[in-house]
A = this chain, B = another copy of it.
Amino acid sequence: MLRGLTRAGMGDIESDEQLIELAGQYGFQAVDVDVRGLVERSSAEKVKELLERNGLVIGNFGFGVEWRTSEEKFREGLSRLAQTAAAAQAVGAKNCCTYILPSTDQKAAHFMALATRRLRTCAQILDAFGLRLGLEFVGPHHLRTKWANPFIWTVDETLDWIDAIGQKNVGLLYDSFHWYTNGLTVADIEKLDVSQIVHVHINDAPDVPMEEALDNGRVYPGEGVIDLTGFLRGLQNIGYKGAISQEILAQKKPTDAPEILAQHSKACFDKVFGTVGL
């Protein structure tokens, strides 16, 4: 399993290029970045060199399609997707992801029908470039009632949705925060087949009742109450070998310098990865 960084939790990072350098410097093995932007600012060749020089692979390359609102917005995103996919393929990236809000102001059933068709089309395009799409179920309880109608938030619902989408390159983005706020156990991870997991996020929850954990109130791995040892052990047991990317969503960006935050993140990974012998 690869130690991964995203910009969430890294403070005032100015660019994905800076994130890559920092990730390399502090021993990370994967980054979640906007690959298309990187490639457009230089070239696929140079992005590959940058990644290699820093000992990194891409965790999540940036999906970039808005499938949740109007058909017009969806089509705009779709117009760019094949080019994003071409950029991703050119630098050896494999996976992108999108999150599922657990409630919606649209009629839930109708929105599910629209979203099923839209994500199937996206998955087919990604598949043409050998890429996978991970759907992130989102657990925090406050989001389940934030919009008028409940949508879906459990692993089982998400797997059923993946079956409805019906493309083999669609799987889960499994985030420790959503595992925790769904009240799931290590056994729930272990009953999955590793091929169902496209990407993993790691972060921790503060010591508040689980039902009150806020989506943007996350803390660094090992600094909260989530059983991250169990989480990682479960993934290890089913043979997961991909990126585990830190994603610390918070109401305020941390003010420390990115170097300090990267060093801190490294220490957090050392601790929680150490508990499972990594």
List chain A positions with a Cβ less than 8 A from chain B: 74-76, 78-83, 85-86, 89, 104, 107-114, 116-118, 120-121, 124-125, 127-129, 149-152, 157, 160-161, 163-164, 166-168, 193-195, 239
Q: A151–B109 contact, CB under 8 A? A: yes
CB distance from A194 to the nearest CB of B (A): 8
Contact A113 B79 (CB under 8 A): no
Other than the given A109-B150, A116-B116, A117-B166, 13 more pairs (CB < 8 A) read A80-B82, A81-B82, A104-B109, A108-B150, A109-B151, A112-B112, A112-B164, A113-B160, A114-B164, A117-B163, A117-B164, A121-B124, A193-B195
CB pairs A–B below 8 angstroms (8 shown): A75-B89, A75-B128, A114-B164, A117-B166, A121-B128, A166-B167, A167-B168, A193-B195
**A113 is contacted by which of B121, B149, B164, B194 (Cβ under 8 Å)?**
B164
Evaluate contact between B86 and A79: CB separation under 8 angstroms.
yes
Partner of A152, one of B109, B129, B149: B109
Interchain nearest-CB distance for A121 vs B (Å): 5
Q: Is the CB of A75 within 8 A of B79?
A: no
- With the chains together, A50 CA to B164 CA distance in Å? 36
Interface residue from B76, B78, B110, B164 paired with A125 (Cβ < 8 Å): B78
Q: Copy number of this protein in the oligomer?
A: 4
- B74, B109, B152: the one within 8 Å of A128 (CB): B74
* Given contacts A75-B128, A109-B152, A110-B157, A164 and B82 within 8 Å (CB-CB): no
Contact B121–A127 (Cβ < 8 Å) = yes
The 4 closest A-B pairs by CB, nearest first: A168-B168, A195-B195, A112-B112, A108-B109
Chain B hits for A83, CB < 8 A: 79
Q: Which of A89, A127, A160 gathers the greatest number of chain B CB atoms within 10 Å?
A: A160
A160 to chain B, nearest CB (A): 5
Cα of A181 to Cα of B49 in the assembled complex, Å: 40
Contact B129 A160 (CB under 8 A): no
Measured between beta carbons, the chain B residues less than 8 angstroms from A129 are 75
